[in-house]
Amino acid sequence: MKALRLMKWKSEAEIVELPKPTPAPGQLVIKIGGAGACHLDLDLMKDFGDGQLSPLPAMAWKPPFTLGHENAGWIDLIGAGVSRFREGDPVAVYGSWGCGKCGKCKAGFETYCDNPAKAPVPGGGGGLGLDGGMAEYMLVPFERLLLDLPDGLKPIDAAPLTDAALTPYHAIKRSWAKLTPDAFIVIIGVGGLGHMAVQIAKVTTGATIIAIDSRNEALELATSLGANYTFKVGDEIKSKVKDLTSGHGAEVVLDFVGNKQTMALGASICRTLGDFTIVGIAGEVLPFSFFSVPYKTSLQTTYWGSRVELAEVLDLAAHHLISSKISKFKLADAPQVYLDLAAGKIEGRAVIVP
Ligand SMILES: [Zn+2]
Ligand SMILES: [Zn+2]
């Protein structure tokens, strides 16, 4: 089978020929119906390495591996001892693979596994140190990592939800208590994750939504998905947000970029007692001190989401309450897709269908 593979750090991924995987006892092979092309893959190609590039951490895993950590498809081969699935069942793959045994993993938060050394790869998963879904078939090492797709949801539509919707869902859910109908939520960066964040904020909270991006098309998309206000970078955003919020700032700010400018902006428009959550992994640094954010503003990061939250996200999509705006590409197009993604030319999410 063909696969898009990262052969070494600091290189473009290549399409190579690999044998189809076979499942050992307890494992499954799925036929990929869609694999989302994520900004993180660009970081894997360009920025990650063996710890040289501070502040990005050194990973406990390294290439070669097949890219693609946002995957859905159909059960193809079933290893001995697996009883929950039948061939052809449509499934989504939960992407962060922990030890499966610690308290965090049992609660479904494999992103925060307490025993990463006992995971298939520490802090990774399919497409992150192990072979992912940018290939015709993908090996999934444990059945707990597969979620049945609800009726009416196709693998191609489900694939990007496993990260691009799960990650903002987790970040927004964490701040639900503050997102009352009189509250404001600011979403910085309306890309693959941000355009889902707008929808998730709309359907799960009563808050007024402000979306910020540097691209007109992204702001138009945000409006069409339910943003109440959109501001373009460079538009005196701070004073506009203060005006809208009677001078207080927003209860919740989500930064899907995470560079110096976006973090400084986020800290300047978040209100006292607010939540400022950095989701984007541009990896730059925000100064933090007693006076750098309003009193009692919580500054936090989140990483991905839980298995339970993924089931909730899939249900939201099956009920047509959220949907990823997708463009479909063949595996052969994947190298060009990543060039376009790097150039900011992809609207919503590109999904590779091998
Ligand atoms: Zn991703
Ligand atoms: Zn664990």
Report pLDDT digits (tens) over 233-289: 987 999 999 999 999 999 999 999 999 999 999 999 999 999 999 999 887 899 999
Q: Which two tokens stand for residue 21?
A: 């995987």
Dihedral sign computed on CA atoms, order 162, 58, 105, 137: positive
Query: What's the 70 CA to ligand 1 centre distance in angstroms?
Result: 6
- Mean pLDDT (whole number) for 70-98: 97
Domains of the chain: 2-160+324-353 (3.90.180.10), 165-301 (3.40.50.720)
Of 59 and 206, the one with more pLDDT = 206
338 and 45 in contact (C-beta within 8 Å)?
A: yes
| Ligand nearest to the Cα of 107, by number | 2
Tens of pLDDT, residues 102-116:
999 999 999 999 999
**Angle 30-138-317 from CA coordinates, rounded to 5°:** 60
Q: Contacts by 244-248 with C-beta closer than 8 Å and gap 24+? A: 244/184, 244/208, 244/210, 245/184, 245/271, 248/272
For residue 348, the model assigns a pLDDT of 75
| Ligand nearest to the Cα of 168, by number | 1
Q: Which residues neighbour ligand 1 (ion) by CB within 5 Å?
A: 38, 40, 163
271 and 250 in contact (C-beta within 8 Å)?
A: yes
For residue 284, the model assigns a pLDDT of 87
- Mean pLDDT (whole number) for 338-353: 90
Query: What's the 100 CA to ligand 1 centre distance in angstroms?
Result: 21
Query: What's the 307 CA to ligand 2 centre distance in angstroms?
Result: 13
Detail the DSSP E strand segments found in 287-343.
Answer: 298-301, 326-330
Of 348 and 281, the one with more pLDDT = 281
Tens of pLDDT, residues 176-208:
999 999 999 999 999 989 999 999 999 999 999
- Mean pLDDT (whole number) for 90-95: 98
Query: What's the 241 CA to ligand 1 centre distance in angstroms?
Result: 29
Query: What's the 99 CA to ligand 2 centre distance in angstroms?
Result: 4
Query: What's the 127 CA to ligand 1 centre distance in angstroms?
Result: 9
Query: What's the 95 CA to ligand 1 centre distance in angstroms?
Result: 9
Query: What's the 351 CA to ligand 1 centre distance in angstroms?
Result: 11
**What is the chain's Cα-based Rg?**
20
Half-sphere exposure of 262 (CA within 13 A, CB side): 27
Query: What's the 190 CA to ligand 2 centre distance in angstroms?
Result: 32
Query: What's the 124 CA to ligand 1 centre distance in angstroms?
Result: 12
Residue 255: alpha-carbon gap to chain centroid: 13
Nearest to 313 by CA among 212, 194, 173: 173
Which has the minimum average pLDDT: 61-70, 245-254, 343-352? 343-352
Q: Hey, is 117 helix, strand or coil?
A: helix
pTM of the complete model: 0.94
Q: Which residues neighbour ligand 2 (ion) by CB within 5 Å?
A: 98-99, 102, 105, 113, 115
Question: Which conformational region is residue 83 in: left (phi greater than 0), alpha (psi within -120 to 50 degrees), or beta?
Answer: alpha
Query: What's the 238 CA to ligand 1 centre distance in angstroms?
Result: 29
For residue 51, the model assigns a pLDDT of 60
Query: What's the 57 CA to ligand 2 centre distance in angstroms?
Result: 20
The total number of residues written for the chain in this structure: 354
Burial class (CB in 10 A: 0-12, 13-18, 19+), 91: buried
pLDDT of 16 strictly over 80: yes
